[in-house]
Amino acid sequence: MSEDNTKNLPRKINPAQTFENLVEWVGTESRKHHAPGLIIGISGTDSLLTYLACAEAYERQGKGNRVLGLHFDHLAEAIPEAGSDKITCLKDEFKWVVRDIVPWLKSVAPKAEIEIDQTLLLSDDNQRWGKLFSRAIADVPQSGEMTNQHYFPVGTRNATEDYLGSYSQISKAVSMMPIVDLFKSEVMEICDYLQVPDIAMEKSREIDCACGRFDIPAFHMQELDWVIMNKKGMLSEAFLNDNIDKDLLRDINAFVTEERILNAFRKETPYEPASNLVAEL
C-alpha cells in the first residue's frame, strides 16, 4: 500500500505486538540508563498500561519488585454546586481504583509493588506529582547518596494529550514516557487486549474535570484522535469528512485549536533568553 493510500485510513495497531514493543523499550532504556526501579502514578487506563509494561519489563530482568505503582486514594472529590461558588465534596469518587483495580493488578503483576497514599483530601494533580517525585527518592539515605533504592518516575502521557498539551507542567520532569506515541483510542485497544477491568475502561469515557477530560475527549475519543492524526499528516481530510458528522467535526476542530492555544506554553517552557544576558567587565 502506498503512503498516499495509507493516509486514507487510520492506522491499525497490533495490540499484542505494540505491548511487547513497549515492554522491550522500557527494558532496554532501563538497562541503558541504569534505572534501579520505576515508579508510576496509578489512576486510569494510561497509567495501567504503563504500569503493566514496566512490571513485565522488570519481571524479565528478575527484579519485578522494583516497579512501584502509587495510587492517591483521595478522601473526597470537590466540585462546585450548580449556580454557586460553594464546594461540595463527594465521597468515594476514587474508591473504584482500590476496590477493583488494585486487586486485579496484584493478580496479573504479583511481584510489582503498589502503595496507596491517602494524605490528599482533594484531587490536585500538582500535589500528586510532587508526592510521586518525593516517593521516588524516599528510600535514599539521608546522606544523599543515590543507591539502588530510588526509582525513575515514569510518565503516562499519550499522543492525544501530547498534541493538545493537556498534561501537567510538572509531568515534564519524568525520566521516561513509554506511551507518548499512542493515541488515547489506541491505549484503549491495548487495555482491552490486556483485559483491563471494564470499570477503568468506562471511566476513561466519562467527563472528569479534575484531569481535564471534557465532553469531546470523553464521548468522541476516536473522532478526536482522527482529527489529530489529520493535523499531524497521518490521515486524509476526506476520511474525516466521510466519517465524522459535519457539526461534530467543526466542534472537534474548535476544541483542538482552543486546547493548543491554551496549552502552548507547555511546549515553550522553560523560557530562555534569546541572547546572552551576562554583563562582562
HEC profile for 52-75?
Answer: HHHHHHHHHCCCHHHEEEEEECCC
Three-class SS state of 251: helix
Q: Is 109 inside any structural domain? A: yes
Pairing mode, strands 38-41 and 67-72:
parallel
Q: Is 57 inside any structural domain? A: yes
Q: Is 211 inside any structural domain? A: no
Q: What is the Cβ-side half-sphere exposure of residue 97, based on CA atoms within 13 angstroms?
A: 23
**CA-based nearest residue to 40, from 29, 51, 52:** 51
> Cβ(40)–Cβ(68) under 8 Å?
yes
Question: Can you state the angle between helices 45-60 and 184-193, rounded to 10 degrees?
Answer: 60
Q: Is 272 inside any structural domain? A: no
CATH classification of the domain holding 175: 3.40.50.620
Distance CA 110, CA 156 (A): 21
Tell me the β-bridge partners of 266. Answer: none
Distance CA 23, CA 54 (A): 6
Residue type, 147: T
Spatial CB neighbours of 54, under 8 Å, sequence gap ≥ 6: 26, 38, 40, 67, 112, 154, 178
Domain hosting residue 126, numbered range: 3-79+90-206
Spatial CB neighbours of 186, under 8 Å, sequence gap ≥ 6: 13, 18, 159, 225
Separation of first and last alpha carbons in the chain = 64
Report pLDDT for 2.
43
Copy the grid coordinates of residue 48: 495501567
Q: Is 239 inside any structural domain? A: no
Cell 490486556, residue located: 194
The tally of domains found in the chain comes to 1
Q: What is the pLDDT along the chain (281 residues), one digit of tens a residue?
A: 444 555 899 999 999 999 999 999 999 999 999 999 999 999 999 999 999 999 999 999 999 999 999 999 865 444 444 554 443 444 445 589 999 999 999 999 999 999 999 888 777 888 999 999 999 999 888 765 656 789 999 999 999 999 999 999 999 999 999 999 999 999 999 999 999 999 999 999 886 655 556 789 989 999 999 999 999 999 999 999 999 999 999 999 999 999 999 999 999 999 999 999 999 99
Report pLDDT for 215.
85
> Cβ(264)–Cβ(165) under 8 Å?
yes
Report pLDDT for 90.
44
Tell me the β-bridge partners of 87. Answer: 80
Copy the grid coordinates of residue 260: 493548543
Q: Is 128 inside any structural domain? A: yes
DSSP state letter for 81: P
Report pLDDT for 148.
75
Q: Is 59 inside any structural domain? A: yes
Q: What are phi and psi of 152, to 5 degrees?
A: -85, 125
Three-class SS state of 40: strand
Q: Is 122 inside any structural domain? A: yes
